Chain A
Amino acid sequence: MELTRYVTIGQYIPRESPVHRLDPRSKIAAVTVLTVAVFVVRDFSGYGLLTLFLLGVVLASQIPLGYLLRGLRPVLFLLLMTLVLNVFFSGIQGGTVLFQLGPVVATREAVLRAVFIGYRLVALVLVTSLLTFTTSPVQLTDGIERILRPFRRLGVPAHELAMMMTIALRFIPTLLEETEKIMKAQMARGAEFEHGNILRRARALVPVLVPLFVSAFRRADELALAMEARCYRGGEHRTRMKELRLAPRDAVALALTIAASFVFTIPYPTWQALLR
């Protein structure tokens, strides 16, 4: 039983790659630009180019592609549902009929749209996983804090939000580990989590959830105490050991991403005209 094998969210894979070295702020900005591009692109030429671009980034990041694709597993069900619903219940009238199952008809247009929507979902998951795989939680929240800083005037508690995020991300693996340990301890006393109907399975979780909550509260207490003992008083007057500093490579990476995103959105007919 290895829960960390199935939950890759918030996981960071330390490597010495150019993508890892980028400033978190430029990575967050690049992800935002790409997200917009994913929604603006409308034809295969654009998606093809976007795929090539993402593959390039994956190669540069030294994250194995297979591992990245594994992050899709939790959204697989959502993906299938999206495909099925969009193919058969698209509401598109007319169009070329591809095949028919009783009363439901799949048209060429509906299939195309389903594929586009499915691709968008995949691309979004990949882009955000790339961000978390290549950016340590501390860097990520530092980046978010710096991006939110100008909004402090409007009452946005930038530092507090970032600190909460850091702590939450930091504790995902800890709580997973704890869950695994408690489940094992109860299994050693004859607990079974994979047998019986839903009701029995839910009941079997009580001996896991109670100790998990107890330990989460204990950890929260200890952490709060440790922070107070070191005079933590929120963001005022706090300095940091590692200041974020934008480097020339950040400008290059961001410029490349923006330029590429514009290219992706060029419609196919324009490509045809350009290449003639």
Chain B
Amino acid sequence: MALIECRNLTHVYLKGTPLEAVALQDVTLSVEAGEFVGIIGPTGSGKSTLIQHFNALLRPTGGALRVAGIDLANPRADVKNLRQQVGLVFQYPEHQLFEETVYDDVAYGPRNLRLNENEVGERVAESLALVGVDPNRFGRRSPFSLSGGEMRRVAIAGVLAMRPRVLVLDEPAAGLDPKGKEEILGQIRALHQAQGLTVLLVTHSMDEAAQLVRRLVVLARGRVVMDGPVREIFRRAQDLAVLGLGIPAIAELMLRLRGSGLPVSPDTLTVDEARVAIREALRWN
């Protein structure tokens, strides 16, 4: 059975009040262990709502949802167990930092799991190392004295310290400078490749999606409108444009080159692929 399985998942906020808002409607989706899935969609399309279901911070108001074999339509589901398996990194996670030292902040999760202090120390060192923060240099510092990119990485380490099997990230690179972006995304890719984590990545950057993920789920107005391999989805530039979404900059460039008569391969998403495609089209080999 798939790791995450939702069928006709529906979520209505403030149900039964004049302010009720349908955020998700009939979402059917399944994610296998070991996948790297991108979730993309315009603002307000329900991306954040959807992923909060995956560790039971929100419960379905309709439909069926099973995550790691736990039935979440059941109000008595074992939520604690689930939250340990599925780590959720919110948008701007650095806003959740609160402890006096980086060490204590990352240790918050493991301590909530009632681990002994030795194990807590191991996990803190391990997860800080995973996000490229030196535990010896930064452990004793106040998290509020770090730079934006460092704070974010410490916050992500705080989730990794739970040792989840699944990592769900909501716009992890939003608001960072290009270098910070590059670093964070590189580390997420490494977590997937080296640690074997199942990763779900919410983004609204087509370039990030093209660089990182294999499979892309497109949400619009609370529904899944496309779901498939990245390359297939970016071939549907016109359908995406109707939804107010673009395609990666490189794909856009290839389209324009083709438009002006250079027969480059349309299946080109990264800079390296683009170099090859252009050389081929120009017969420079």
Chain B nearest CB, measured from A194 CB (Å): 11
**Residue from the list B13, B52, B80, B93 in contact with A190, Cβ < 8 A:** B80
Chain A nearest CB, measured from B96 CB (Å): 4
Q: Counting chain A CB atoms within 10 Å of each CB, which of B17, B108, B158, B159 scores highest?
A: B17
Whether A211 touches B84, Cβ cut-off 8 Å, given contacts A189-B109, A190-B112, is no
Q: Does A63 contact B (CB under 8 A)?
A: yes
Whether A5 touches B113, Cβ cut-off 8 Å, given contacts A185-B90, A211-B95, A211-B97, is no
**Within residues 144 to 161 of chain B, which ones have a CB less than 8 A from any CB in chain A?**
144, 158-159, 161
Q: Does B189 contact A (CB under 8 A)?
A: no
Complex CA distance for A13 and B158, rounded to whole angstroms: 39
Contact assessment for A184 and B144 in the assembled complex, using a CB-CB cutoff below 8 Å: no
Per-position binary interface string of chain B over residues 72-98, scored 1 when its CB falls under 8 Å from any chain A CB and 0 otherwise = 000000001001100110100101111
Per-position binary interface string of chain B over residues 88-120, scored 1 when its CB falls under 8 Å from any chain A CB and 0 otherwise = 101001011111000000001100110000000
Contact assessment for B97 and A67 in the assembled complex, using a CB-CB cutoff below 8 Å: no
Contact assessment for A4 and B19 in the assembled complex, using a CB-CB cutoff below 8 Å: yes
Contact assessment for A188 and B144 in the assembled complex, using a CB-CB cutoff below 8 Å: no
Contact assessment for B87 and A188 in the assembled complex, using a CB-CB cutoff below 8 Å: yes
Q: Does B242 contact A (CB under 8 A)?
A: no
A-B contact count (CB 8 A): 71
Q: Does A101 contact B (CB under 8 A)?
A: no
Q: Does B178 contact A (CB under 8 A)?
A: no
Q: Counting chain A CB atoms within 10 Å of each CB, which of B18, B55, B90, B162 scores highest?
A: B18
Q: How large is the interface on B (under 10, 10 to 19, 20 to 34, 35 or more residues)?
A: 20 to 34
Which residue of chain B is the closest to A206 with respect to CB atoms? B98
Q: Does A275 contact B (CB under 8 A)?
A: no
Chain A nearest CB, measured from B48 CB (Å): 10
Residues of A within 8 A of B99 (CB): 207
Q: Does A95 contact B (CB under 8 A)?
A: no
Contact assessment for B98 and A211 in the assembled complex, using a CB-CB cutoff below 8 Å: yes
**Within residues 162 to 190 of chain B, which ones have a CB less than 8 A from any CB in chain A?**
162
Chain B nearest CB, measured from A149 CB (Å): 33
Contact assessment for A187 and B83 in the assembled complex, using a CB-CB cutoff below 8 Å: yes
Contact assessment for A4 and B14 in the assembled complex, using a CB-CB cutoff below 8 Å: yes
Q: Does B57 contact A (CB under 8 A)?
A: yes
**Within residues 193 to 238 of chain A, which ones have a CB less than 8 A from any CB in chain B?**
206-207, 210-211, 214-215
Which residue of chain A is the closest to B92 with respect to CB atoms? A181
**Residue from the list A2, A70, A186, A192 in contact with B96, Cβ < 8 A:** A186
Contact assessment for B90 and A188 in the assembled complex, using a CB-CB cutoff below 8 Å: yes
Contact assessment for B90 and A184 in the assembled complex, using a CB-CB cutoff below 8 Å: yes
Complex CA distance for A78 and B112, rounded to whole angstroms: 37
Residues of A within 8 A of B112 (CB): 189-192
Per-position binary interface string of chain A over residues 1-19, scored 1 when its CB falls under 8 Å from any chain B CB and 0 otherwise = 1101100000101000000
Q: Does A64 contact B (CB under 8 A)?
A: yes
Contact assessment for A207 and B108 in the assembled complex, using a CB-CB cutoff below 8 Å: yes
Chain A nearest CB, measured from B17 CB (Å): 6
Complex CA distance for A184 and B53, rounded to whole angstroms: 12
Which residue of chain A is the closest to B84 with respect to CB atoms? A190
Which residue of chain B is the closest to A2 with respect to CB atoms? B14
Complex CA distance for A3 and B156, rounded to whole angstroms: 26
Contact assessment for B159 and A189 in the assembled complex, using a CB-CB cutoff below 8 Å: yes
**Residue from the list B80, B88, B144 in contact with A214, Cβ < 8 A:** B144
Whether A188 touches B88, Cβ cut-off 8 Å, given contacts A182-B96, A215-B95, is yes
Contact assessment for A189 and B144 in the assembled complex, using a CB-CB cutoff below 8 Å: no
Chain A nearest CB, measured from B43 CB (Å): 15
Chain A nearest CB, measured from B102 CB (Å): 14
Residues of B within 8 A of A192 (CB): 80, 112
**Residue from the list A64, A186, A188 in contact with B18, Cβ < 8 A:** A64
Residues of B within 8 A of A210 (CB): 98
Residues of B within 8 A of A181 (CB): 90, 95
Which residue of chain B is the closest to A63 with respect to CB atoms? B18
Residues of B within 8 A of A64 (CB): 18
Residues of A within 8 A of B108 (CB): 186, 189-191, 207
**Within residues 224 to 264 of chain B, which ones have a CB less than 8 A from any CB in chain A?**
none
Complex CA distance for A186 and B83, rounded to whole angstroms: 11
Which residue of chain A is the closest to B86 with respect to CB atoms? A188
Which residue of chain A is the closest to B13 with respect to CB atoms? A2
Per-position binary interface string of chain A over residues 121-164, scored 1 when its CB falls under 8 Å from any chain B CB and 0 otherwise = 00000000000000000000000000000000000000000000
Chain B nearest CB, measured from A220 CB (Å): 15
- 16 contacting pairs across A/B (C-beta < 8 A): A2-B14, A63-B18, A67-B18, A184-B57, A185-B88, A185-B95, A186-B96, A188-B57, A189-B108, A189-B112, A190-B83, A191-B108, A192-B112, A211-B97, A211-B98, A215-B95
Mark B residues whose CB is within 8 Å of A.
13-14, 17-19, 52, 55, 57, 80, 83-84, 87-88, 90, 93, 95-99, 108-109, 112-113, 144, 158-159, 161-162
Known A2-B14, A185-B96; 14 more pairs at CB < 8 Å: A67-B17, A181-B95, A184-B90, A186-B96, A187-B83, A188-B83, A188-B87, A188-B88, A189-B108, A189-B112, A206-B98, A207-B98, A207-B108, A211-B98
